[in-house]
Amino acid sequence: MAIKRASQKAKSDNVFGHRRKQAKMFRAELYARVSTNDQQTLAMQNRAMREYAARRGWTIALQVREVGSGAAKRQAREKLLEAARRRDIDVVLVWRLDRWGRSVTDLLATLQELKHLGVGFVSLTEALDLTTPAGRAMAGLLAIFAEFEREILRERTRAGLAQARQNGVRLGRPITAGWHTPEIRKLYRDGVAKAEIARRLKIGRTSVRRILA
């Protein structure tokens, strides 16, 4: 009877004459981030991601939480990327894309790095799953949006410079105190105090003293 059961198990592990591959147990890293004034959503993010990982049968290898402003450098995220570079994880799970990327360009750069490392990426809110062919196709759209964002920034910069020139604003590097050397020495010869020279010419007192030394 034991031999028969072993035979049946062996058959169940074979499909059309080929041995069935065991499903890979993904090591997931959960990344939750909130702003300084919105920390109450942290528990909700963690709960949603843990439930999702359980449904997918993933092992939670690491859980990272970060609190800070959107403009700040994301130190905890950098540690997560280091784990990916060491191949300690197989997939990164986030609650929403803006929790992960500071901008479309930043988001795309990190996703491309994860792809190069062979690490998947899943964002729950947008249903973006880069472990699937459909998700990887969506990543291609992000590249288009990133270029669109860069072009908008370039257009805004050009428009701002044009407006500044039109308003008579001098562009480029500011004039250094050295340009005022003849005037500084003339004023000093006329008996004007160093502090007053600096005030009139809108330069530092140290610069005035250095030129007159």
Active site residues: 35
Q: How far apart, in whole angstroms, are the C-alpha atoms of residue 173 and residue 165?
A: 14
Q: How far apart, in whole angstroms, are the C-alpha atoms of residue 12 and residue 10?
A: 5
Which pair of structure tokens corresponds to residue 112? 């491309």
Q: How far apart, in whole angstroms, are the C-alpha atoms of residue 77 and residue 75?
A: 5
DSSP state of 102: S
Terminal-to-terminal C-alpha distance of the chain: 105
